Amino acid sequence: MAIRSKVAPEITQLADELGVVFADAGIPDIAGRILGWLLVSDPPEQSLEELRIATRASKASISTMTRLLHHLGFIERSGSNETRSTLYKLRDDPWTSFSEKRLETTRRLVKLASQAEASLSWMPATRRRRVEQMSEFWAFVLDRNESLIDEWKRSRADSDSRLRRSTNLSKIRKRQLAKSEAAN
């Protein structure tokens, strides 16, 4: 079991500082501390008890915050250990998953603003302008964020592809070297 007192201070500092960033964004700091811990924990899968010890939080808080982080797309349940307790780990590329969930919220705001513009067309222009600004803003944000996430995915796919090619070339070179050494 991970004991916080045996963990490098840089690791606990990262978890604590991520908690502060989350709190500044309106998300409970314990969720940020859990996320920070899962970024660097070894093993990557952690039980609720290990998360409780690592973050110095109550069992109830850990339970609630793991549900929140799961809902936000940051973590996933990953089976169980010998004690049959549920384990949690960071999702692969949780940042994209989280951002895509935020995009869905933005799409809903764009739709709401568009509907409001249409249904409030009878209002005087000065009052209607606030709704129009909302609509313009969220449409702009949606367009830019969709483009950014698409660009990120393409960049990541290209990077993954280069890594696979590089790994395959390394394996081929090792086999060739082994054959060469065996022939000598």
Pairwise pLDDT comparison (36 vs 1), residue with the higher score: 36
pLDDT digits (tens, 9 = 90+) for 33-56: 999 999 989 899 999 999 999 999
Residue 94: partners with Cβ closer than 8 Å, 6 or more residues away: 73, 74, 75
CATH 3.40.640.10 fits 4-90, yes or no: no
Residue 1 has pLDDT above 60, yes or no: no
What is the pLDDT averaged over residues 142-164?
A: 88
Task: Please list, residue by residue across 93-109, b when 16 or more beta carbons sit within 10 angstroms of its beta carbon and e when fewer do.
Answer: ebeebbbeeebeebeeb
Domain ranges of the chain: 4-90, 94-183
- Going by pLDDT thresholds of 50, 70 and 90, the confidence category of residue 19 is confident
What is the average pLDDT value for the chain, to the nearest integer? 87
Q: Is 79 exposed, middle or buried (0-12, 13-18, 19+ CB in 10 A)?
A: exposed
Residue 77, beta-bridge partner list: 88
Neighbours of 59 (CB within 10 A): 11
Entry pTM: 0.72
Residues, the chain: 184
Q: What is the mean pLDDT of residues 148-172?
A: 80
Instruction: Give the pLDDT of residue 165.
Output: 67
Q: Give residue 175's pLDDT.
A: 75
> What is the reported pLDDT for 162?
73
